[in-house]
Amino acid sequence: MRKTLVIGTVAMSIALSGCATDPNNTQKGAGIGAAVGALLGKATGDNDNSRLVWGAAVGALAGGAIGRYMDNQEQEFKNELAGTGVQVVREGDNLRLIMPGDITFATNSAAVNPSIDPVLKDVAKILNHYPKTVLLVEGHTDNTGSEEYNLQLSKRRAQSVKNLLIVDGVNAKRLTVVGMGEYQPKVPNTSAANRRENRRVELKIQPITR
């Protein structure tokens, strides 16, 4: 039977140096974006022993093999996730899965909705089929509630999804998680529809190339 629901994602802590005292959300978002870039660098094996071990175990991609590998993975995600609400976005040699969090979680809850388990299992199955990738999983919220509460909620939700991905066989060494809170909205938080769009989880998938 066709799966019709969507999945959420993973988040852990991120150092927000300077952000807590900066009242400007644009500046906060920029600071967090820089920190996410550093995390993504770690996810490729830089400065992180577990991912260095993983990269050494599965090997790296090079040249034209990178594009083909990611092309094939992108197509499998699109085939398996059609109709679930998960967006599959290509960004150069990287992939991004965008998963609406309001379907994945109840309001103010970090417990993953059991009804999306089939979708999550399909995501894990494809990830396991393409082991030469590492992942950054981001949790995002709208701006309802305090900034600190939203940051913690996004972390807890992301961590919950990470745990389920591991249960479904994805090696923990491949996963870096981060809670973004309300700092990187897709659209302005000016309506209920926009806030729903901002409550999401994103899974960024990057090939191992060194």
In this structure, the strands spanning 133-140 and 175-179 are parallel
On whether the pTM is more than 0.95, the answer is no
The confidence score (pLDDT) of residue 12 equals 36
- CA angle, corner 94, sides to 70 and 17, nearest 5? 155
Distance CA 87, CA 103 (A): 14
Tell me, what's the pLDDT at 197?
A: 86
Residue 194, Cβ density class (10 Å: 0-12 exposed, 13-18 middle, ≥19 buried): middle
Domain 25-142+150-170+198-207, CATH number (from 3.30.1330.60, 3.30.200.20, 1.10.3720.10, 1.20.58.410): 3.30.1330.60
Annotated domain spans of the chain? 25-142+150-170+198-207
What is the amino acid identity at position 11? A
Distance, in Å, from the CA atom of 108 to the CA atom of 208, rounded to the nearest integer, reads 36
Spatial separation of the C-alpha atoms in residues 121 and 132, rounded to whole Å: 19
**Tokens (6 digits) for 143:** 């701006």
Split the chain (210 residues) into runs of 10 and give each run's mean pLDDT: 36 37 54 53 47 76 93 97 93 93 77 85 96 92 93 91 93 93 94 88 90
For strands 87-91 and 175-179, give the pairing. Answer: unpaired
pLDDT, residue 35, reads 56
* CB-based contact 180:25 (threshold 8 Å): no
Amino acid identity of residue 153, one-letter, is: L
Question: How far, CA to CA in Å, does 45 sit from each of 29, 54, 99, 169, 206?
Answer: 25, 8, 26, 20, 11
pLDDT score at 51: 64
List, as one string, the DSSP characters of 4-44: -------------TTTTT---HHHHHHHHHHHHHHHHHHHT
